[in-house]
Amino acid sequence: MRDLISRYVNHVRVNGRDYYYHRKTRERLPDEPNARALRVLEINKCLAAGPSRPADGTVAAVVAEYRQSAPFKQLADSTRRNYIRDLDRIVETWGRLSIKGVERKHCLKFRDKLGETPRTANHLASVMSLLFAFAIDRGYRKDNPAARIGRLKTAKKSRPWSNADWSAFARAAPPEMALAGAVALYTGQRQGDVLRMRWGDIQDGAIRIVQGKTDAELVVPLHKDLAAILQGVEKRAVHIVTDARGRPYVGRSDTFRHDWRAATLAAGLDGLTFHGLRHTAATKLAEAGCSDMEIAAITGHKSPAMVRRYTDKANQGRLAKAAIKRLETGEND
């Protein structure tokens, strides 16, 4: 029975803990094997029966309408997947309730249920607010009970990599992971955009990128070090980054995250993330004296304020160094 059930279950191990998800619906499953098997059977039974239409005016009905709306369909694929995860949570918890009956205290309680994972809780709060804003626009209610809900404090993530960190990783990582990291480090792009890059996107010494999250179209000149690295890479697929067997990671982001995590642990760099390389790229550009607009031209950030989240510390260090040099040389005497 368990062998049969396992066909429908994805198993992920993170930081020594096992997580189980239904393969098709991505619902989190119980840790206990028998409870997990029963839940899989329940989900499969519901899927076989086909979707049932939620009652008008319920939270489930508004969620279903939102998912069919133009604003939702225009979201980037990765953003839409993240929203769906939280919309499914909302339907599971409140689906049969009237959309008018949800109060602010309910939203706060829902957020606090996920307090052990504050980033997840904060994202849920944002999606709740978006859903109720949609409900207001469609005339289902007059207020937004999730508006301006305070965010839970989160641990700092995605710190920049030091030169020593990168050197250690480049020495210890499998070639395909070292290549993925180098592309991120020298282009400042997100994981999804790095995995989608194709050899044909490289033209006239630059790589053309359409960012999945923002739809921003960028032309990023190849850094000479990256150009040298790419010149020595065997082209085994249309895409630049592949696994050890030459298969692209496009559509397999979870597999890439697993492989990347294994590579960082093998290099003794637990705590450093792939997104941290985007932070590193922006920091290095700031340390080189690039303006916020110049950095945004590489990273694709929409505003200088977003760039400064990455570069304030680097800019402070650069300006402080210049100030002390002036003081030492008496430049303004």
DSSP state string for 120-173:
HHHHHHHHHHHHHHHHHHTTS-S--TTTTPPPPP-----PPPPHHHHHHHHHHS
Please report the sign of the dihedral spanned by the C-alpha atoms of residue 261, residue 154, residue 119, residue 133.
negative
pLDDT per residue over 169-196, tens digit each?
999 999 999 999 999 999 999 999 999 9
* pLDDT higher than threshold 90 for residue 26: no
CB neighbour list of residue 119: distance below 8 Å, 6 or more residues apart: 154, 157
Q: Which residue has the higher pLDDT, 198 or 325?
A: 198
Structural domains of the chain, with CATH:
1-50 (no CATH), 56-154 (1.10.150.130), 163-322 (1.10.443.10)
Contact 208, 216 (CB under 8 A): no
pLDDT per residue over 237-287, tens digit each?
999 999 999 999 998 888 899 999 999 999 999 889 999 999 999 989 888
CB neighbour list of residue 149: distance below 8 Å, 6 or more residues apart: 104, 107, 108, 111, 125, 128, 129
Q: What is the DSSP letter of 68?
A: T
pLDDT per residue over 32-76, tens digit each?
888 888 888 888 887 787 666 788 999 999 999 999 999 999 887
Instruction: Quote the CA–CA distance of 313 and 306 in Å, as a whole number.
Output: 14
The dihedrals phi and psi of 203, each to the nearest 5 degrees, come to: -145, 135
The distance in angstroms from the start CA to the end CA of the chain is 84
Query: Which pLDDT score is estimated for 24?
Result: 80
pLDDT per residue over 77-102, tens digit each?
778 888 999 999 999 999 999 999 99
Query: Which pLDDT score is estimated for 126?
Result: 94
CB neighbour list of residue 296: distance below 8 Å, 6 or more residues apart: 302, 303, 304, 306, 307
Count helices and strands (H / E) in the chain. 15, 5
Query: Which pLDDT score is estimated for 2?
Result: 55
Instruction: Quote the CA–CA distance of 238 and 249 in Å, as a whole number.
Output: 11
Global pTM?
0.60
DSSP helix/strand/coil, 10: strand
* pLDDT higher than threshold 90 for residue 206: yes
